[in-house]
Structure 1
Amino acid sequence: MKDLINELQLKNERLESEISFKNGLISMLSHDSKELFGNFLWIIEALEEKTISEEDFFNLLPQIKSDAQKNLQTIKDSTSWLKTQYGEFKIKPEKIIVMDLFHHFEEKYAAKLKEKNIKFHFKGDSNAFVTTDRLLLDYVLDKILDNAVKYSLPGQDIYLQEVTEGDQVILSVVDSGTGMAEKYVSTIFTYENPIFQGTSGEKGAGLSLKIVKNFVSLMRGNIQIISAENAGTTVSLFL
């Protein structure tokens, strides 16, 4: 009886978490879309009515472009999540060599890493592997690495670290970038967390890590974030 009650409580907590996530996502998409299109209409109407000069119009375009890129990323992230919610989506576990993952992201992020003069290293067993869904793991590591690059300063190093403990594989993305104060770490997966700019002014919507947590749960894993202000961040996946 006690086990049944605990199971029901766990299911109830998961349901409440999913409802909160979906409500927050809908609110974010609605707010950001209204803000972006509102700004588009305002700047076009202002130019038509000659309440701003052409020079001021063109000066505002970089900000409009930045906001549009942020909103496009939100839509892409939302689409990735929606694919796991409808139809016959099922986890497809397969053997994935960790070193292959490293080389994949090393190539994918080559331009960004070069732009910031950041070196990307692998630490661990080069023969290690993890058995999980490739698409979900690719998305999760992509978003974690993207944040590591975003919040690292030029010349700093980033590591993909692998540790195997029995049947569990721990994959960590370790950076020595700007990090964050401990009070923000506990809110990172909620819609209350603040949005920080990257070291080169990069902007995000703050949605990707919320989807990351959802995908890690689908993979039956756990995620841990350890961070300190001006001392870097370590994001670990326990798979």
Structure 2
Amino acid sequence: MLLLGFLLGLAVGIGFWVWQQVQLNRYLGRGLHQPLNSHAYKVALPLIPRLRREIFMVKQQRQDLQQSLQTYQDLLDFAPVGYLQVDEENQLLWCNQQAREVLYLQRWQPGQVRLLLELVRSYELDQLIEQTRDWQKPQTKEWLFHPSCDNAAEMPTIKSLTLRASSLPLPNGQVGVFLENRQPLLDINQARDRSFSDLAHELRTPLTSIRLVAETLQNRLEPPLDRWVKRLMQEVDRLISLVQSWLELTQMETNPTIQLQPEAVEVRSLITSVWETLEPLAQKQNLSLNYSGPENLWIKVDKSRIHQVFLNLLDNSIKYSLPQTTIYVQAKILSTKETDKSAPASPVLEINLIDSGVGFSQADLPHVFERFYRGDQARTHSPLKDSNSIRAIVGNGLGLAIVRQIVLAHRGSIKAMNHPETGGAWMQIQLPEAVANSLGQDYS
């Protein structure tokens, strides 16, 4: 009986509470739907006006947010770059029209939520998103994207694209990615390079003929008339060097590894050989070379190409060094863990070339490896003032571009800086997978 009485009392209590809630909802509903100037509103509970204002403000804020969201989506749809957004599980939430076209997202429709990897078979894009989420920092990546298509008839017409993606972390584990199709720009550059290469090929024969004529004239003229022929030969030599350098650079960019012939080379001997070639020029300014590094250090590289790298770099150092100073070459072995913590441990050769010249201006540093870039006048003209020497002629602006291409062909990297102690130029080269033992065999 006690239990029955308790249950009955509980049921009555719950029923009374429900009845109260229903009556309160009806009362509030009548108050909210009556006009602001009605008599019923004036006698309503004091909380009703404030509640109505709060509800109105919330509705207004919601409309403003929806309008702003629609505006941003319209802007992204109109933007010349692609944009996509994924959730914490890498499911595609939204993307604009440009992203759908670049990534060939025919199977995705607005409103669908599907895994991005199901729609876009790109390991690079998936890895970029994961890194962005894990590191909580914006990331940038460029890769060659091979689109997939459900329609087999269209596959032969689909070309691979070079894409550049910039990602940023968003709240709740989401990630936004901006996509840029770099292929049209690369196609234009390749067409330009082909045109210049064809022109360079055509120029070699007439330039050689002009030089032969100048040599013939030089032997028949007496001073001071022969100085004009010398000047002509200098200019012709400069043009021939420019044409040859352009052809060489274009060939290496087209196929960087086709002419590489790796062999074991001892680093100190290589540097010494290059310095002996340039020593007559160094003696004019009383310059000396200081080499430091491990003894009997061997690398497996294309000897002639690497010789060309150090010949160009040391030649520049001699040109721009102050008289009676020292050029430093420092070689050391690093581990890939020191340069890339995600890479497996393996030896890396690092060579630093440091002079005591005027160095690079901050504006020039990002561009020193670009073709035909001519920076600060202090480094574009040789300090040597001998007007009768070919050394006084300004360079063609391709030397460092060729150096960079050779280093890249060896899967290495090169960086230009100013040394904090000497104030001069500081070139740092890193060559992974090149270190060998004294027998010329790879350590790996």
Q: Same fold (TM over 0.5)?
A: yes
1:1-239 alignment, distance < 5 Å: 1-4=121-124, 7-8=143-144, 12=162, 20=189, 23=192, 27=196, 63-81=231-249, 84=252, 89-166=258-335, 167-191=347-371, 193-194=373-374, 196-200=380-384, 201-227=392-418, 231-239=423-431
**1:147 CA displacement:** 0.8
Higher alpha-carbon Rg: 2
Distance in 2 between the 1:89 and 1:80 partners?
Answer: 12
Shift of 1:7: 3.6
Provide the C-alpha distance between the structure 2 equivalents of 1:18 and 1:134, rounded to a whole number of angstroms: 32
Q: Distance in 2 between matches of 1:157 and 1:237?
A: 19
Letter paired with 1:106 = W
Q: Cα gap change, 1:238/1:228 in structure 2, threshold over 3 Å: closer, same or farther?
A: closer
Residues 215 and 17 from structure 1, CA distance in 2 versus in 1: closer, same or farther, beyond 3 angstroms? farther
Identity %: 19
Letter in 1 for 2:366: S
Conservation of the 8 A alpha-carbon contact between 1:120 and 1:159: yes
Aligned residues: 221
Query: Are the structure 2 counterparts of residues 117 and 29 from structure 1 closer, same or farther at C-alpha, using a change threshold of 3 Å?
Result: farther
CA distance in 2, matches of 1:26, 1:71: 17
**Per-residue deviation, residues 39-67 of structure 1 (Å, max 9, x unmatched):** x9xxx9xxxxxxxxxx9976655654443
Distance 1:164 1:120 in 2: 21
Give, as a single letter, the amino acid of the residue that structure 1 aligns with 2:144. Answer: L
Partners of 2:364 and 2:423 in 1: CA distance: 14
In structure 1, what is the Cα distance between the partners aligned to 2:197 and 2:371?
9
Structure 1: any 5+ residue segments left out of the alignment? Answer: 45-54
TM-score, length-scaled by structure 1: 0.74
| Residues 103 and 199 of structure 1: CA distance in aligned 2, closer, same or farther (over 3 Å) | same
Per the TM alignment, residue 76 of structure 1 is displaced from its structure 2 partner at its CA by: 3.7
Closer, same or farther: CA 57–90 of 1 in aligned 2, 3 Å: closer
Amino acid at match of 2:415: Q
Q: 1:94 touches 1:132 (CA, 8 Å); kept in 2? A: yes
CA spacing shift, 1:97–1:157, aligned 2, 3 Å: same
Label 1:28 to 1:151 Cα distance change in 2 as closer, same or farther (>3 A): farther
What SS does the aligned partner of 1:8 have? strand
Is the CA contact 1:182–1:227 (under 8 Å) kept in the aligned structure 2? no
- The structure-2 alpha-carbon separation of the partners of 1:222 and 1:147, relative to structure 1 and needing over 3 Å to count, comes to same
Shift of 1:134: 1.3
The CA RMSD over aligned residues, in Å, is 3.8
Label 1:214 to 1:17 Cα distance change in 2 as closer, same or farther (>3 A). Answer: farther
C-alpha distance 120-57 of structure 1, shift in aligned 2 (>3 A): same
**Partner SS, residue 136 of structure 1:** helix
CA contact (8 A) 2:372 2:397 kept: no
Contact 2:372 2:398 in 1 (8 A): no
Which structure has the higher relative contact order (CA within 8 Å, separation 6+)?
Answer: 1
Alpha-carbon separation, structure 2, partners of 1:81 and 1:114: 31
Give the drift of 1:180: 1.8
- Per-residue displacement from partner, 1:152-208 (whole Å, max 9, x unpaired)? 122121122101113100112211112220111111122362151111144201111
- 1:99 positional shift: 1.0
- Render the CA deviation track for 1:112-141: whole Å, top value 9, x for unaligned: 111221111211112222222212211111
Deviation at 1:22, TM superposition (A): 8.0
TM-score (norm 2): 0.43
